[in-house]
Amino acid sequence: MKMKIVRLLFMSFIFSSACFAQTPTVTVSLNVSPGTAVCDNEPVTFTATISGCPGAYIIYWKDGAFIIDTTYSPSTTWNTMLYAGTRQIWCTVDCNPNGNGNASIITMTVDDCSGIEEYENGSQLTLYPNPSLSDIVINAERLQMLPASLTVFDTQGRIVKVSYHIKEHVAVFNATQFENGTYYYRIADKDNEKSATGKFVIVK
């Protein structure tokens, strides 16, 4: 009987050791583009580098203590725009049951660059009216740019489908397409060599 108990304890120890050995340590590092100092109307991309996680994982993206978004393997990136201020952006990786979790953090300095007139390369970009409840006009004439595309993002950095038309230096779209709130935009020329960004508010 004693021999059986010893054998069971020994087998339990081996099994526990094997399970422990199969739980790797997960490491996470976080990078950001275009950098840690950005404008509040500027798209930002965070990229996590994960090692030690042999299976599926979940990434929780946090601004301070609040979970803002969630991505799943194999994705390691998060595209967003940030509110003005000093922001602590966390990337928390959950690798269970194939490994433990870990996290990485980047401190961002976000300047308030928004407003009716946006600046890029010393030139002005004009959006009006802002706030708006009807047609919105973006005039890029003083940027000496002929816009060819318009992309609109919500405050979580997600692309919002929008109907618009462009004629020469001006892009026009209607506010009725949006819910109330704050949105960000990016216009670019046909070769994507020149672009400008800004923010507008919808109030109905």
| Digitized pLDDT (tens) for each residue of the chain, 204 residues in all | 545 444 444 444 444 444 444 567 889 999 999 889 888 778 899 999 999 888 899 999 998 888 888 999 999 999 888 877 889 999 999 987 766 788 999 999 887 765 434 444 444 678 888 888 889 999 888 878 888 999 998 877 788 999 999 998 999 999 999 999 888 888 888 877 777 888 888 987
User: For residue 176, what are the contacts with CB-CB under 8 A and spacing of at least 6?
Assistant: 134, 204
Res 22: pLDDT: 54
Domain 25-111 matches domain 117-202 at the CATH topology level:
yes
Tokens in use for 38?
A: 């950005």
Which pTM value belongs to this model? 0.50
Domain range list for the chain: 25-111, 117-202
CB 181 within 8 A of CB 152: no
Coil/strand/helix, residue 176: helix
pLDDT at site 114: 55
Please give the Cα distance from 55 to 108 (Å, whole number): 30
CATH code, residues 25-111: 2.60.40.10
Q: 60 burial class (0-12, 13-18, 19+ CB within 10 angstroms)?
A: middle
| pLDDT at res. 141 | 86
CB 109 within 8 A of CB 86: yes
Question: For residue 8, what pLDDT is reported?
Answer: 43
Say how far apart CA 92 and CA 77 lie, in whole Å: 12
> What is the CATH topology of the domain spanning 117-202?
Immunoglobulin-like (2.60.40)
